[in-house]
């Protein structure tokens, strides 16, 4: 259908242009003749030369003009005149007249000059009518062509007249290729959502005891934790009509379009109930109303009002279950979050070590692993990784394996993939010199403090190979995700971050410290200030000295407000400086007392460019005693 209309338009356009040009020529008299009187008529451009109007009048008075043919309503004439300069031969000359004036006609009559007036030829009436209608017809034909083009594709140019319709993708039975067995690491969230599927398949289990399934479920969690994957699993398991769209697809430039799309979406959903509606990134349309400078956005707020009405308004939405996902629940409108609309908030957080192990098992189904590669070691190596991060990790490891022409993924590929994801692409190794030695002392300073301070996380790897913007890196592996952190652990982390600067200060002197510790010092300042202002771990006492909730709509830099007086702010600064200074003094003391082991570690690191945690600790143990750090128990299935 689209191809046929495209061919018709391609044929009509050149034909229309040709007809329009022809009509213009005919209507302007472009084919009128300016020839001899009588049966033989010469066209206008047959005159051999031109004559001015003043000279023509002089020739008339002198009696040299023998005949005049007037054309175009008196605008042009062909004159036969006797030229004395050419032995009185008759010349045919063209004259531009100012118009068919009565004085000129009277003069020609008085001089007994033969003249004839030729009326302009007009185009046939049908051709004139066609010329007048040609442009409107071409315009209407183009609009029809655009309206029919890609009429079957949602969001295409053919939908220009239907922008108020819902853009939701509709599937009578969603074939997403994802089941609950493919979702791992979010056991609690999966159990909550399995109830939705059970209600849709066996509603009598709930209605027999008077239970009602929640009308709406909001999936909340950081990016990459599997919210959209859970929605796909629900769609794949439920076997009911499924609508899916993004929150941004409601909002348009024109006020009222989003509300119209909401009405159209729920109208279609009610026609196919019971059904599921999945709205991804609902914060794009569900932000708090009336917030921000200027009072908010009319189009978005009208869309949200319509969404609130459809979810739990006067008529309700019986048989429609809405599942939405967001990573910004703090900006959602309170009316959207109340029971009756989104009755449940399902937290989909980053997985723990058991969750990461189950996610790795899912993503390693189609990958070849070496026999000695343990998924548990990978799970311990990746604290804080989400499901998307782990999928990307295994894909990067598979790419490295293929690049190195190996047949199975090994531990070295996993380590390199983790390093690439965390720190960036590997750079060119440094050449041996003063800069490389200085970076070696800096990184060994971090690792040495992390090893000798009891409450610090153990060292996993030290390297001089640049990655991203860093010239050298030291990795620490937390024992496990820590929801609660003690004061001694925070102090140990501050000392570990200051270890690089302390090593530069001890080895090269106070005047030779570099800018390499800039990022470390920023982390130190942030941790120390939080200990003072948020956690009450200073001499100021257990008092929160800063607001926990900042207005996200106004902008932190545009409007800032201090929660403390000037004197308290001064005391906070003093406490932060004192805390950092005390930690730095202890760090310098540890580095100075272990200068011999540091020099030995630096030589090994420069020679090998990378040292893993076990190798690093073995070298340190030869010179000093390492405090025993607590390790978690192995994973129990």
Q: What is the CATH number of the domain that holds 483?
A: 1.20.58.760
pLDDT recorded at residue 447:
92
User: Of 493, 498, 590, nearest to 537 (Cα)?
Assistant: 493
Q: Strand 169-171 and strand 89-96: pairing?
A: unpaired
Asked if residue 429 belongs to a domain, the reply is no
Confidence grade of residue 10 (pLDDT, cut at 50, 70, 90): low
Confidence grade of residue 553 (pLDDT, cut at 50, 70, 90): very low
Q: What is the mean pLDDT of residues 609-636?
A: 77
**Two tokens at 291?**
């917030």
Same domain, 574 and 522: yes
Cα separation, 574 vs 581, whole angstroms: 10
Confidence grade of residue 589 (pLDDT, cut at 50, 70, 90): very high
pLDDT at 579 over 90: yes
Contacts of 380 (CB under 8 A, 6+ apart): 353, 477
pLDDT at 582 over 90: yes
CATH number at residue 366: 1.10.8.60
**Lookup result for tokens 């109340």:** 338
Cα separation, 222 vs 347, whole angstroms: 9
Interval 54-64: pLDDT, tens: 788 888 887 78
pLDDT recorded at residue 442:
92
Which is higher by pLDDT, 1 or 409?
A: 409
Give percent of the chain above pLDDT 90: 15
Tell me how crowded residue 606 is: count the other CB atoms within 10 A of its CB. 17
pLDDT at 35 over 70: no
Where is the domain boundary, 347, 371, 404? 347
361 is catalytic: no
Interval 179-200: pLDDT, tens: 787 788 788 888 888 888 888 7
Q: What is the mean pLDDT of residues 520-542?
A: 91
CA distance between the termini of the chain: 59
Which is higher by pLDDT, 224 or 296?
A: 224
Asked if residue 633 belongs to a domain, the reply is no
DSSP 458: P
Cα separation, 110 vs 91, whole angstroms: 22
pLDDT recorded at residue 527:
93
pLDDT recorded at residue 526:
93
Where is the domain boundary, 292, 314, 347? 347
Query: Three-state DSSP class for 478?
Result: coil
Query: Three-state DSSP class for 459?
Result: strand
Asked if residue 162 belongs to a domain, the reply is no
User: Cα-atom radius of gyration of the chain, to the nearest Å?
Assistant: 43
- Top mean-pLDDT range of 189-193, 478-482, 579-583: 579-583
Same domain, 362 and 285: no
Q: What are the φ and ψ backbone dihedral angles of 246, each rounded to 5 degrees? A: -100, 155
CATH number at residue 101: 3.30.720.210
Q: Which of 47-51, 95-99, 414-418, 560-564 has the lowest mean pLDDT?
A: 560-564
pLDDT recorded at residue 122:
63
- Catalytic pick from 80, 192, 443, 504? 443
Asked if residue 443 belongs to a domain, the reply is yes
Cα separation, 506 vs 500, whole angstroms: 10
Sheet holding 114-117, edge to edge: 49-51, 89-96, 76-83, 65-71, 114-117
User: DSSP secondary structure string, 239-285?
Assistant: -S-EEEEEGGGT--SSTTHHHHHHHHHHHHHHHT-SEEEEEESGGGT
Same domain, 240 and 388: no
Q: What is the mean pLDDT of residues 456-485?
A: 80
Same domain, 255 and 388: no
Tell me the average pLDDT of the chain. 78
Please report which helix (H) or strand (E) contains residue 329, including its range.
Answer: none
User: Of 459, 366, 467, nearest to 416 (Cα)?
Assistant: 467
Same domain, 494 and 372: no
Single pTM value for the model: 0.67
How many helices (DSSP H) and strands (DSSP E) are in the chain? 20, 14
CB 494 within 8 A of CB 583: yes
Which is higher by pLDDT, 408 or 467?
A: 408
Asked if residue 164 belongs to a domain, the reply is no
pLDDT at 491 over 90: yes
Buried b (16+ CB within 10 A) or exposed e, 124-160: eeeeeebbeebeeebeebeeebebebeeeeeeeebbe
Sheet holding 216-220, edge to edge: 169-171, 242-246, 275-280, 320-326, 216-220, 344-347
pLDDT recorded at residue 283:
87
Cα separation, 372 vs 633, whole angstroms: 21
CATH number at residue 276: 3.40.50.300
User: Of 568, 270, 273, 613, nearest to 448 (Cα)?
Assistant: 613
Same domain, 381 and 296: no
Cα separation, 613 vs 621, whole angstroms: 12
pLDDT at 254 over 70: no
Q: What is the mean pLDDT of residues 162-181?
A: 66
**Lookup result for tokens 């009002």:** 305
pLDDT recorded at residue 506:
92
Cα separation, 559 vs 391, whole angstroms: 40
Please report which helix (H) or strand (E) contains residue 503, including its range.
Answer: helix 487-508
Same domain, 13 and 147: yes
DSSP 314: S
pLDDT recorded at residue 505:
92
Asked if residue 174 belongs to a domain, the reply is yes
Where is the domain boundary, 347, 380, 409? 347
pLDDT at 581 over 80: yes
Same domain, 464 and 419: no
Host domain of residue 137:
2-28+124-153
User: Of 328, 344, 338, nearest to 191 (Cα)?
Assistant: 344
pLDDT at 552 over 60: no
Interval 302-314: pLDDT, tens: 888 888 888 876 6
Asked if residue 589 belongs to a domain, the reply is yes
CA distances from 204 to 38, 212, 317 (A): 104, 10, 19
119 CB-contact burial (10 Å; exposed 0-12 / middle 13-18 / buried 19+): exposed
Cα separation, 484 vs 490, whole angstroms: 11
Number of domains in the chain: 5
Same domain, 230 and 324: yes
pLDDT recorded at residue 152:
44
3-state secondary structure 560-620: CCCCCCHHHHHHHHHHHHHHHHHHHHHHHHHHHHCHHHHHHHHHHHHHHCEEEHHHHHHHH
Same domain, 173 and 263: yes
User: DSSP secondary structure string, 140-165?
Assistant: HHHHHHHHHTTTTSTTSGGGGGGTTS
Cα separation, 416 vs 413, whole angstroms: 5
Q: What is the mean pLDDT of residues 534-544?
A: 87
Same domain, 438 and 543: yes
CB 286 within 8 A of CB 337: no
Which is higher by pLDDT, 488 or 124?
A: 488
What are the beta bridge partners of residue 174? none
Helix 595-608 to helix 613-621 angle (10° resolution) is 140
Whether the CA torsion 27, 29, 31, 36 is positive or negative: it is positive
Asked if residue 629 belongs to a domain, the reply is no
Same domain, 583 and 458: yes
């Amino acid at each position: 259908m689209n191809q046929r209309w495209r061919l018709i338009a391609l044929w009509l356009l050149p034909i229309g242009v040709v007809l329009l040009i022809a009509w213009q020529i005919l209507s302007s008299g472009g084919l009128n003749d300016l020839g001899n009187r009588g049966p033989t008529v010469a066209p206008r451009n047959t005159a051999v030369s031109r004559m001015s109007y003043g000279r023509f009048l002089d020739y008339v008075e002198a009696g040299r003009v023998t005949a005049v043919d007037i054309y175009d309503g008196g605008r042009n004439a062909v004159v036969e005149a006797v030229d004395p300069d050419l032995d009185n031969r008759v010349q045919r000359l063209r004259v531009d007249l100012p118009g068919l004036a009565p004085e000129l006609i009277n003069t020609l009559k008085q001089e007994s000059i033969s003249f004839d007036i030729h009326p302009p030829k007009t185009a046939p009436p049908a051709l004139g009518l066609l010329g007048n209608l040609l442009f409107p017809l071409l315009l209407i034909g183009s609009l029809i062509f655009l309206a029919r083009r890609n009429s079957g594709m949602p969001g295409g140019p053919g939908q220009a007249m239907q922008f108020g319709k819902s853009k939701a993708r509709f599937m009578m039975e969603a074939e997403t290729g994802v089941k609950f067995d493919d979702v791992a690491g979010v056991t609690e969230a999966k159990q909550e959502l399995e109830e939705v599927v059970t209600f849709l398949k066996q509603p009598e289990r709930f209605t027999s005891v008077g239970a009602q399934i929640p009308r709406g479920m909001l999936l909340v969690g950081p990016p990459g934790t599997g919210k959209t994957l859970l929605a796909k699993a629900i769609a794949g398991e439920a076997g009911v009509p499924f609508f899916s769209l993004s929150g941004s697809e409601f909002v348009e430039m024109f006020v009222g379009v989003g509300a119209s799309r909401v009405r159209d979406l729920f109208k279609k959903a009610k026609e196919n109930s019971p059904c599921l509606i999945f709205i991804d990134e609902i914060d794009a349309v569900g932000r708090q109303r009336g917030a921000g400078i200027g009072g908010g956005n009319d189009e978005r707020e009208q869309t949200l009002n319509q969404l609130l009405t459809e979810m739990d308004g006067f008529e309700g939405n019986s048989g429609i279950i809405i599942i939405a996902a967001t990573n910004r629940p703090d900006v959602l409108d309170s009316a959207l979050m109340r029971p009756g609309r989104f009755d449940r908030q399902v937290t989909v957080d980053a997985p723990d070590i058991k969750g990461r192990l189950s996610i790795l098992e899912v993503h390693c189904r189609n990958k070849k692993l070496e026999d000695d590669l343990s998924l548990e070691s990978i799970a311990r190596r990746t604290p804080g990784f989400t499901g998307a991060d782990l999928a990307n990790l295994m894909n990067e490891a598979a790419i490295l394996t293929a690049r190195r022409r190996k047949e199975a993924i090994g531990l070295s590929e996993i380590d390199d993939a983790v390093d690439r994801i965390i720190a960036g692409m590997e750079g060119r190794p440094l050449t041996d010199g003063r800069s490389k030695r200085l970076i070696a002392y800096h990184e060994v300073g971090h690792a040495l403090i992390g090893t000798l301070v009891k409450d610090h996380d153990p060292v996993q790897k030290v390297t001089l190979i640049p990655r991203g913007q860093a010239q050298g890196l030291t990795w620490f592996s937390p024992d496990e995700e820590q929801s609660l952190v003690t004061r001694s652990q925070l102090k140990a982390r501050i000392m570990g971050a200051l270890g690089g600067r302390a090593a530069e200060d001890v080895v090269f002197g106070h005047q030779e410290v570099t800018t390499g510790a800039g990022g470390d010092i920023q982390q130190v300042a942030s941790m120390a200030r939080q200990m003072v202002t948020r956690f009450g771990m200073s001499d100021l006492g257990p008092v929160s000295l800063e607001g926990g909730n900042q207005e996200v709509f106004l902008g932190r830099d545009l409007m800032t407000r201090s929660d403390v007086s000037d004197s308290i702010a001064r005391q906070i600064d003093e406490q932060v400086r004192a805390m950092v200074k005390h930690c730095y003094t202890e760090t310098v003391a540890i580095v100075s007392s272990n200068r011999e082991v540091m020099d030995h570690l630096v030589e090994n690191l420069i020679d090998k460019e990378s040292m893993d945690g076990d190798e690093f600790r073995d070298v340190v143990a030869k010179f000093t005693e390492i405090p025993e750090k607590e390790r978690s128990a192995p994973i129990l299935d």
